[in-house]
Amino acid sequence: MSTDDQTYGPSALATPANFVTVLRLLISPLLFTMISTQHASWSVFVLWTVLASTDGIDGWIARRHGTTRSGAFLDPLADKVLVLGAMFSLASIGRFAWLPVTIIAVREIGISLYRVYWGRRGLALPASRGGKLKTLLQGLAVGAAVMPPLATAYAWVGNALLWASVVVALTSAGHYLWAGRSAATTMQRPSDIQPG
């Protein structure tokens, strides 16, 4: 069986998709250092674009070779480390305000724990459209903040995208909370039925 045709079971660890994801995690600190020292530069922008775009690549590989539990954990972890690390790096040099970055970080941690809570009870809360839009806006905000022309002459673009992502992040968080509450009500109904 060729590598292209190989599929992996749900418990597999050493998969091509996981390799790409772990590589993203390992390279992320280099990006954060470059943001802190070089601020806005084309090298930072290119590295950010490459790391951000590999999220779609490892997802495509996973769908082709089979999704795994380790991949389901590592992929969103890599996304959050990359985005939040870049945002905190930009806040540390004054490119982003701390308030929106903190709101986003608290939201990400809170919703992640909330999804884990329901996951352990057998309920999956898949990523919503709002969550995907939030991720896109955050990626564009960071990209705008490290791209030389926008970061220097039009700094408001990155900040506007950042605040837009805050609004979408809070809205999608509300949707997750509502979905969990609705599921809890549904799960409790059978136990409320008393034998006749």
Q: What average pLDDT score do residues 92-105 get? A: 96
pLDDT of 47 > 50? The answer is yes
> Best-predicted range by mean pLDDT among 108-122, 150-164, 175-189?
150-164
Q: Which helix (H) or strand (E) holds 27?
A: helix 16-38
Q: What is the pLDDT of residues 128-167, one digit of tens each?
A: 677 789 989 999 999 999 999 888 889 899 999 999 999 9
Determine the Cα angle at 162 with ends 161 and 164, to 5°: 60
pLDDT value, residue 190:
42
Contact 92, 33 (CB under 8 A): no
pLDDT of 4 > 60? The answer is no
Query: Which domain range does residue 58 map to?
Result: 16-185
- Does some domain include residue 193? no
Amino acid at 175: H
- Does some domain include residue 5? no
- Does some domain include residue 9? no
Under DSSP, the state recorded for 50 is H
Task: Please give the full DSSP string across 118-155, using - where no structure is assigned.
Answer: HHTTT---PPPHHHHHHHHHHHHHHHHHHSHHHHHH-H
- Does some domain include residue 6? no
- Taking the model in full, what pTM does it have? 0.79
- Does some domain include residue 10? no
CATH of the domain at 115: 1.20.120.1760
- Does some domain include residue 26? yes
- Does some domain include residue 57? yes
Could you give the number of structural domains in the chain? 1
- Does some domain include residue 175? yes
Express as a percent the part of the chain with pLDDT over 70: 72
